[in-house]
Structures are given as structure tokens and as C-alpha cells.
Chain A
């Protein structure tokens, strides 16, 4: 089993922000959730993978091949869905499809028709007449109609209602039945990922904070709740982030095993959500 996406020591400098040498890998056939707060570097990373931005250093490989040297070949195997859709608003869906389809070597008209039917998209309607959800569905139909091996999605669910988000997740579940297909999905709505992601990569302030399987992350971290009297200096150090009020504390600990050693009794241990982990890590310094 090879990696479909390898990012190694990727660097990009802007005036007020920098991607500081990030690395992660996505094995073939899995879904990776790419999470982080707004401005953490998610879109920058995706733009660098797609060569929309020029990297200052590092290496990106898709299907084992350099993303610049084999750009055209690689892009034939990538389906992309961005937070906004950048189609020509004046065109009808049919016209837009007619323009895009010939660029892909493996375009499959039957699959496109199938998705147009499933999504109930009107081919003769102009793109500007579609709702945001419908535009997203059209992007997805295009991305799925050329047998893409890697689906790259940048905040595809932002601004969409829960019904459509759930529909999208169902479609992604169906896609990943095929072991050859992988999904790289950036979002700040982490609940979506809890349902489908196999791997989670968490970026914050241009750095990868963690990148591992979702199950390992959720098993390792835990939320600990207890009275303030239990918190001494040593205990506080064990927390990634902690919140205190008059009644007690609640915090995130990275090593579940360590918690029982530190606090013998009178604590409650809970399984965290991805959102808890993200919040405590991002705001850890403020809480600790």
C-alpha cells in the first residue's frame, strides 16, 4: 500500500504568515481530515499541492510523483472541490461540462450523467442561477466524473445546511468503498470528519500539531474533569489545555494512561471530540 499524498517539510512565506515546514502522508484508500482554525494554513497547503501557489521549500508528491514535474499527469487523477466554485457564472451546466470534460483523459460521461440525476441538477440552467448547495454538487459531479484517485476538498461544507452536509458525507462514504480512491478534506466543522475520516492532520499557525489515525487520536486524548483542590503545579503540566471556574476544572490530556497515575480518584474521564481537541490545543496557552 503506497501513499497517495506525501508532503515533506513544505514551506511558504507570506508577509504576515508562514507555513513552517509541514509534513504529513495520506495512504492510498483513506480519508484524511485536515483541520485547523481559520488562517491556520489549510487553504495555503491545498493551493500549494495544486500548484496555485509556489512553494518556498519542501516536497509534495501525489501518487508517488513530484507535483510540479508531473503536474498535468497528476491533475488528471485529482478531483477538486473548493469552498467557492470558480466556474463561469454566465454558462449553463452543460456548457461548463463541455468545456471541462475534454481536459480529462478519463472523463466518463455516464458517471457524470449519473451524478447529475442523483443531485437533481438541471443541465440547461445557468451556473449563476444555482444555490450554493447546488453549485457545490455540480463541483462534486465534475470532480467525480473522471475516475479521480485523489479527491481534494477545501472547506466544501462551509456555508451549507446540515442536510446537504450529510448527503455529501454519504457520497464520500460511497466513494471510499473503492480502495483506490482517497480523500483529503479540509474543514473547520470537525463533526463532519468524525463520521468519515480515517486520518486527522491538525494544523495551527502554519505548523502541524498532530497527524495520526483518528482512532489513535481519540483514544490517546481524554477530557478530565474534577475539583480545583486536585490541581497542583505538577498536575497542571500534564494538560494540553485547561479551563477553570469556581466549581472545578476541565482539561485535555494527551496521555490517557498518565491520568490515572496523576489523579487517583475523584475525577471524571471523558472521550473528547475532535472539536474539543482542536479547541484545547489552539486555546491551550490561554487556559493553562
Chain B
């Protein structure tokens, strides 16, 4: 299992450097975004790394080789899911490094630091994104799943935007604030744990579906 994760890291050496550079760019690009900047940056980096990891498998048709080795298909799927957590960690570290470097060399840019809230939000968004995307890639392969990927990518931009415009509606805003009132007495840690729990549950369900799908995949 660990070996499969190591494989994804080795194959993506160059992409990792690119992702780190991309983080720098995003520190500048997202300076007007307030607290959501780290979330946007980390999600973008994780998204890139997941895409690259599947693109590499596709480019060399390497799944034929992997599935000819004494590895169970279940392990191949689980390794991909576990590597997502590694990518989240790497993206966070890359973002923090980028902000620290920007601060250290005193570039006049408004930087946003990573908070617990950012980490849990990133975890939630990435989980939502990958738990819907991965079963499709495991079913269709990277190339055929690209269409789904584009639609999903657009949805991830449009849904928050339309929610934002909906929040201008007083009735909607009231109902949301009532729902949130229920969490008023919760500490940040409790809310973070709840969101992390929901995220992990989504990933777990998605992983079970992917294992079933991949077990029947033909090459």
C-alpha cells in the first residue's frame, strides 16, 4: 500500500514542484479573497495533483502493469484515496511555506494564514470533490472521465457563487442563520471535528463504491 503511495509521489516529482510554484502565484492572486484564500489555494493544488496522478496512469496505460503485479485491486483504490490526504498535507505545507517566504522577503502583499477553519473547509471541499470524482475515474479511466471533471469543476465555481447571491435573499439568509444558531454553543474544535467526520464518511463511502467498480474494470 505504502509503495503505491510512494509511486504516486515519485511519478509526480515535477508536478509537486509546479504545485509549489503555483501556491506562490495563488498567494498573490488570492490576496483579495480574505480568509478563503488558503482554502482556494490548497484545493487548487490538491485538484492538480489528483489530476496529474491519474493522467500519469493513463499516459502509460500503467494500470495494465499494476494489475498484473501481485497487488489487489482494493489496495490500488485505497492507496489513491489515502494519497489524497497526503496531497492535502502537502498543499497546506506548500501554502504555508509560500506565505512565510512572501513575509520574509517583505513583499507588500496581504497574506492570509492557514487556520483550523481553513484546514477543515479544505478537507470538506476536497472530500466532496474527490468522493464524487474518483468512482467515475475508476469506472471510465482518466480520459473518459474528463468530461465529468469539467462539469464538476464548473459546478464547484457556480454553486458557491449562486449560494452567495441566494444569501442576499433575506428569507434564505434567515433560515441559514437559524440553522447556524444551533451550532452557536459549539466550540471551533467541535465544529471542525464534525466537518472532518462528515468528510471522512463521504470519502469512506466513495472508496467502497470505487473498490466495487474497480474490481469489475477491464483493461
Query: Do chains A and B stick together as partners?
Result: yes
Q: Please give the residue numbers on chain A whose beta carbons come within 8 Å of chain B beta carbons, in ascending order.
A: 47, 50-54, 71-73, 75-76, 78, 80, 82, 84-91, 95, 98-100, 102-105
Give every chain B residue within 8 A of A72 (Cβ-Cβ): 70-72
Cβ of B14: which chain A residues have Cβ within 8 Å of it?
90
In the complex, the answer to whether B61 meets A86 with C-beta atoms within 8 Å is yes
Question: Closest 10 interchain pairs by CB?
Answer: A86-B65, A75-B70, A52-B219, A76-B70, A99-B7, A86-B64, A72-B70, A103-B69, A80-B68, A53-B218
Query: Would you give the shortest CB distance from B8 to chain A, in whole angstroms?
Result: 10
A52 x B67 contact (CB < 8 A): yes
Contact B72 A90 (CB under 8 A): no
In the complex, which residue of chain A has the Cβ closest to the Cβ of B15? A90
- Selected contact of A103 from candidates B56, B62, B71, B216, CB within 8 Å: B71
Chain B residues near A47: list those with CB within 8 A. Answer: 219
Contact: A89 with B60, CB < 8 Å? yes
CA distance in complex: A104, B71 (Å) = 9
Listed in ascending order, the chain B residues whose CB lies under 8 Å from chain A are: 3, 6-7, 10-11, 13-14, 56, 59-65, 67-72, 216, 218-219
Closest CB in chain B relative to A19 CB, distance in Å:
13
What residues of chain A lie closer than 8 Å to B64, measured between beta carbons? 52, 82, 86
CB-based contact B69/A100 at 8 Å: yes
| Given A52-B67, A76-B70, A82-B64, also A90-B56 (CB < 8 A) | yes
Residues from chain B with a CB closer than 8 A to the CB of A51 are 67
Complex: A76 Cα to B71 Cα, angstroms: 9
In contact, B61 and A71 (Cβ under 8 angstroms): no
Least distance between B218 CB and chain A CB atoms (Å): 5
Query: How many angstroms from the CA of A99 to the CA of B71 in the assembled complex?
Result: 12
Give 20 A-B contacts (CB < 8 Å), ordered by A residue.
A52-B68, A54-B216, A54-B218, A72-B71, A75-B68, A75-B70, A78-B68, A80-B68, A82-B64, A82-B68, A85-B65, A87-B65, A88-B10, A89-B59, A90-B14, A91-B10, A99-B10, A103-B69, A104-B70, A105-B70
Task: Find the B residue at minimum CB distance from A54.
Answer: B218
A5 CB → nearest B CB, Å: 15
Q: Within the complex, what minimum Cβ distance (angstroms) separates A59 from chain B?
A: 19
A50 to B63, CA, bound (A): 12
Shortest Cβ distance from residue B186 to the other chain A in the assembled complex, whole angstroms: 45
Beyond A52-B218, A87-B60, A103-B71, 5 extra complex contacts between A and B, CB < 8 Å: A76-B70, A86-B65, A88-B56, A88-B62, A99-B6
Taking a contact as CB atoms under 8 Å apart, the answer to whether B62 and A87 are in contact is yes
